[in-house]
Amino acid sequence: MKLILSTSNIMKGGRPSVIRQPPTQKSNIELINSLHSNFLASQQPDTNGESNTNGSTNGSHPPPSTAWTLQGDDALYIPAIDFSQPGLAEERDQYDITVKLFYLPGIPVSRRCAHTREAIDLVLKELHVESIDLLIVSFPGILFDADDDSEEEESSSDQEADDFDSMVQTWRVLESLQEKGMIAQLGVAEFGSERLTRFLPHTKVKPSVDQINLKDCCVVPKSLILYAKQEHIQLLTHNDCNDILPVGTTRELLGPADKGAGILASSPDEKDGIQGDVEPQWVVKYTAVVKDRGVVENKGYFALADVGTCVKGRS
Amino acid sequence: MGLLALGTALEWPEAKKKAPQVRQWGIEQLLANWNRAKGKERDALLWGDEVEYLVVALDDGERKSRLSLAQADILKSLARDEALWKTGSCNNNNNSEHDGEDPPHFHPEFGRFMLEATPGRPWGIGFKDLLKVESNMKWRREVAKAHMASNEFPITLTTFPRLGTKDDYIQPYYPPSGPALRSQFVPDEIANPHIRFPTLAANIRSRRGRKVELNVPIFKDANTPRPFKDPTVNYDLHKWPEDDDVRNGAAKDDHVYMDAMAFGMGSCCLQITFQAKNMTEGRRLYDQLSPLGPILLALTAATPIYKGFLVDTDVRWNQIGGAVDDRTREELGEAPLKNDRWRIPKSRYASNSTYISQDPRLRKEYLDPDLVVDEGIKKRLMDGGMDELLATHFAHLFIRDPLVIFSEDLEELDVNKADHFENLQSTNWQHMRFKPPPPESDIGWRVEFRSMEIQITDFENAAFSIFIVLITRAILSFDLSFYIPISRTTENMETAHARNAVLDQKFYFRKDPFPRRAPKNAPLPNGASAFSSATSSAVNTPPPSPPLGPVESEYELMTIADIVNGCSDGSFPGLIPLVESYLNSVNVDVETRCFLATYLDLIRKRADGTLWTGARWIREFVAKHPSYKHDSVVSEEICYDLVKAVEEMTGKEGQQGSVGWEMLRGRKT
C-alpha cells in the first residue's frame, strides 16, 4: 500500500520551521515536525465551528484514522487532502515556485521516472498550477564538503552511493518534463566542481542551479565558484539533509502510541496497526514565493512511503 | 524632512487661530486621498533607508573638532552635481562599482550642521539589491565628502558631543541667545535658515509658553560633583523673558540641562521606509513593527554624551521628544485645564499609541485605554467611510496643532493635495509612521520605522537596515504576531534609555509569535482573510474560538538576547532564527547569504554582548582617555580624539584590531 504524507502549508501552521539551531546546520526537523503537527491538527475535531467549548482533547483518545485520512484510488492520504482548496491567493505569474525532490537512499533508480511524475503531480495539484519554475533534485549519498579543498565528494557508503550513470539516466527524465513545459529550470544539489564538469557534457538541458550547504558560509571552493560562473550555474544555499526521511523515523511518525499517528503497527509483525515493512520512497518540498515582495506564501512537503505487501524487492 | 514651499509663515498667535482650519482641511485631504488610494493593490516591496550625518570640521593644529555650518554650500554643490548627472553631461562618476545605480539624493535637515542622504532609487527585495545597500551608503559618504572642505567630514554620530558648550564648537562661530530659539547655549544660526525651521522652533516655544526643557541624568563617575549642578547654566541672563526659565527651576540637580530644539532635532537617526502591497499589509506592518521599536532602539544605542558630559542614558529618543515638546502646562497636567482641550500624555515625538491593523488577533486589551482623540474628527472620518480603527489613529494624530502655517496656503482648499494633512502628519514624530500614498503619484501605502540610532559605520547601518527588511518578510511569510498591549511598548521605550539597557534590562515581549493553526476549512491561504471584512476583534468582538487566555499570559519580560537570538528554553524562537528560517525558505545565492550572515552575526552579537554598542564603545573611549578626570566631563581634547577615532572607524571598520574592533569584530585579529 502507498502512503502519501503531507504537511499542508507550513508557513501558516504555527510553530512551523523555526528552530533555534546554528543556521547552516543541516536538518530534517522541519519536515518531521511539520508532518507531526499536521497529523495532530487533523486529528482534532474541526475548530472553525462555534461549538467545541471545552477545546482540549485531554484524556480522550485520538479519533480512528479513517476519520482524518483518506483512502484514494491507489494510496492512503495522511492526512486527507482537500485538493479543491485554492493553492495560491494571486495569479500564477506573481510567483516563483521552487520544488526540491529528494530521491531517498536505497530506492532503485528504475522507479525514479514514476516517482518524479508522482511528486510533481501532487505539487501541481496542491498549488493549482500547471508548471513550476525550478526543480532541484537531490541524489542520495552525495555530500558536498566546503571545507574539503581537494574536491573529493564523499559517498556515505559505496553501497548507497548513486552511480554516475543513474544520475544521467534520471536527468533524461527531468529533461523530458522540462521539454513538455512542466518545469522551467532544472537544478542539482551538492555537486562539487568535479562532478559538475563530468556531468554537464551528458546533459541536453544544463542545470541552472547548484544548491549547496555551507557549514561556514564564506568557505566555498574557488574552483566551484569559477566553474559555476563560467557555466552560468547559480550557486544557491540550503540546509536540508539528504537522508531526509529514514525508515525508523517514518515508523515513529506513523506508529501507535503517544508520539505516532496510529496508522502503522509498532513493528512489522505487531497487530496494533497496518502490518509489514515501511519504506519511504521520496520526499518533495515546494515553495511559492511572491516574486517582487519576497513573501513566502506557501511551503510544504509531500512524502511517499510503501508499506506491507507493496514493498518491492530491491533489484 | 521634506521642504515646504516658501511663503509667509505665521507667528504663533496667528497660527493658533488658523489651526482648526488647517486640521479640517487636512482631514478633508486625507479622506479624499484615502478614498482614491484605499483600493491600491499589488504594489511591489520597495524600501529606502535614510542616513543622517553630522558635518564636522577638524582643526588638527588646535586639536579641536567643531560642527561645520556649511550645510547650504554643501547642498548647493551637491545639487549642481546631481543636475549634471541627470543630464548625463558629467562623467565624474568613474566609480564602476555603482554602474546602473542612480546617484544618491541629499536633503537638508533641521541642524545646519546636518545632511541626510537616501539612495537614488528605492531598493527592492531582489537579494542582489540587498548587497548594494552597504556600498551605496559608502558611496553616499564619499560623494558628500567630495563636496566638503578638506578638513570637513560627514560622520554618523547621533549627536555632537560638545553641542551647546561655552567654547566655539561651531564654525563659523555665532554667539547664542537669538530671537527664534532664545537658547542660552546655541545660536539661532545652528538651525537651517529656511523659514520653516526657525518658525517651527519659535512656535513650539511660543505655544509651550516657555523654552523646551531637557534634563538628562548625569553619569556619576568617581570624581563627579555630588550633587551635580550643571556648571554651564547661566542664571544671570536677562535678554529674553525665557531667560527666567532657569531661575524658575528648569535646570535640575544631577542633570545636564538643555533648552533648545537643536539638542534633539540635531540628532542623527537611521530610518527605514517600506512600501506595502496594499493598505491592509501596510496596516499590518505598522502594528507588527511597533513592538520592535524599543528593542531596536536599545540594540543601536549610541548616545552617551550631551553638551560635554557623559550622561546616564544611552539613547537619543527622549531628548528629541523633549526638544519638540510643545505641550502647555495645562496639557502636561501641571495646571488645571482651562483654555486647552485635554491633557496629553506624550510629546509629539514619542512612541506610537495606536494599533491600526484589521487583524482578528488584535485584541481590545492591546489598545491604549486612555488614548486622546478628537471625537469630531473621528466622526467626520467615519462619516466619510473610514473604519473606526484607522479613523481613531488619525483623530489621535490630529489632536495636535499645526506649527508652521503659510498664509498663502489658506486661500483655497485643494483636496488633490496633501499639504494640510502632511502639516499634522509629519509633525507627529512617532516611532512608527503610517503613510498614505501621496496624491498624483504611483507610490503605494508605506510604513516608516523610526526608532533606530545612526551607527558609526556603514557596515552597521546596512546591517540594521537589512535586518529590519528581512524581519518584515518573515512577519508576512510566517504571519507573525508581536502584539502586546501598546502601553507596554511605551514602557519598553523608557526602559531602552537606561545605560547598557541592551544587556542589563528586560523588555515586555510576546511569547508566541506564531498564528494559531488555521481551521481545516480555512478560506484562502495567504492573508486573504485579512481583507475579507471590515470588522476586527478590536472593534467588533466575537472572540475567536477556542477562547483566549488573559492578555497578561501572552507576554513576559525578556532580555534582548532572548528576543533576538531566542530563549534557551525554546519558548520564544528569536528574531534572528525567524529571519534565518525565512532565508532557508527562499532561493538565496551563496554570495548574498555570506553577506547576510555577517550582518546577522553583528546583530546576534550585539544582542548577547559579544560586541559592544556604540554607546558602550564611546563610554569606554572616554574612560580610557589619558586626559579624562573621571568627572563626567568630555573635554575638547577628548572630543577631538573621539571624532578622529570615529572618522578612522568609518574607513577601517575595526579590522585588524583597528579602533572600534570591540564594537564591530569582537577580536583584534
How do residues B282-297 score in pLDDT, each as one tens digit?
999 999 999 999 999 9
In chain B, the percentage of residues whose pLDDT exceeds 70 is 93
Contacts of A77 in chain B (CB under 8 A): none
Q: Which of B42, B43, B481, B526 to mutate to test the interface with A (most CBs of A within 10 A)?
A: B526
Contacts of A88 in chain B (CB under 8 A): 525-526
String of b and e for B601-640 (b: at least 16 CB within 10 Å)?
bbbbbbbbbebbbbbbbbbebbeebeebeeebbbbbebbb
Distance from CA of B422 to the nearest CA of A (A): 28
ipTM of the complex: 0.90
Give pLDDT, residue A62: 64
Look at B581 and A18 and tell me if their CB atoms are within 8 Å: yes
pLDDT tens by residue, B213-245: 999 999 999 999 999 999 999 999 999 999 999
Contacts of A13 in chain B (CB under 8 A): 517-518
Give pLDDT, residue B101: 83
Grid cell at residue B196: 520653516
Grid cell at residue A286: 515546494
Of B44, B525, B570, Cβ closest to residue A89: B525
Contacts of B124 in chain A (CB under 8 A): 292
Contacts of A96 in chain B (CB under 8 A): 587
Rounded CA separation B126/A289 (Å): 12
Look at A297 and B521 and tell me if their CB atoms are within 8 Å: no
More confident residue, B217 or A23: B217
Of A19-23, B24-28, B149-153, B246-250, give the lowest mean pLDDT range. Answer: A19-23
Packing angle of the helix pair B127-146, B458-478 (nearest 10 deg)? 150
- Examine the pLDDT at A136 and tell me if it is beyond 90: yes
CB atoms within 10 A of CB B28: 17
Boundaries of domain holding A211: 2-48+55-310
Q: Kind of pairing, strands B255-258 and B214-217?
A: antiparallel
Q: Which stretches within B56-171 are classed as H helix?
A: 71-87, 127-146
Of B517, B590, B600, Cβ closest to residue A214: B590
Contacts of B525 in chain A (CB under 8 A): 9, 12, 85-89, 297-298
End-to-end CA separation in angstroms for chain A: 19
DSSP state of B424: H
Look at B594 and A218 and tell me if their CB atoms are within 8 Å: yes
Q: Please name the helix (run of DSSP H) or strand (run of DSSP E) that holds residue B623, with its range, or none.
A: helix B614-624
Residue A86 Cα distances to A9, A92, A119, B254, B467, angstroms: 12, 12, 19, 65, 32
Look at B515 and A9 and tell me if their CB atoms are within 8 Å: no
Residue A14 lies in a domain: yes
Give pLDDT, residue A51: 37
Look at B45 and A289 and tell me if their CB atoms are within 8 Å: no
Contacts of B565 in chain A (CB under 8 A): 20
Number of Cβ pairs < 8 A linking chain A and chain B: 149
Look at A98 and B587 and tell me if their CB atoms are within 8 Å: yes
Contacts of B580 in chain A (CB under 8 A): 23
Residue A230 lies in a domain: yes
Q: What is the CB-side half-sphere exposure of residue B326 using CA atoms within 13 A?
A: 24
pLDDT band at B648 (very low <50, low <70, confident <90, very high): very high
Q: Which of B469, B477, B545, B575 to mutate to test the interface with A (most CBs of A within 10 A)?
A: B477
Rounded CA separation A191/A197 (Å): 10
pLDDT tens by residue, A247-283: 999 998 998 867 788 888 888 888 888 888 899 999 9
Residue A315 lies in a domain: no
Rounded CA separation B50/B137 (Å): 10
Grid cell at residue B341: 482641550
In chain A, the percentage of residues whose pLDDT exceeds 90 is 52
Look at A20 and B566 and tell me if their CB atoms are within 8 Å: yes
Q: Which of A12, A91, A99 to mutate to test the interface with B (most CBs of B within 10 A)?
A: A12
- Examine the pLDDT at A48 and tell me if it is beyond 80: no
Contacts of B41 in chain A (CB under 8 A): none
With CA atoms as reference, the chain A residue closest to B597 would be A217
Rounded CA separation B633/B622 (Å): 9
Task: Name the amino acid, one letter, at B668.
Answer: K
How many domains are contained in chain A? 1
Distance from CA of A100 to the nearest CA of B (A): 11
- Examine the pLDDT at B43 and tell me if it is beyond 90: no
Look at B522 and A87 and tell me if their CB atoms are within 8 Å: no
Give pLDDT, residue A133: 98
pLDDT band at A310 (very low <50, low <70, confident <90, very high): low
Look at A234 and B578 and tell me if their CB atoms are within 8 Å: no
Look at B566 and A297 and tell me if their CB atoms are within 8 Å: no
Distance from CA of B545 to the nearest CA of A (A): 7
Look at B519 and A48 and tell me if their CB atoms are within 8 Å: yes
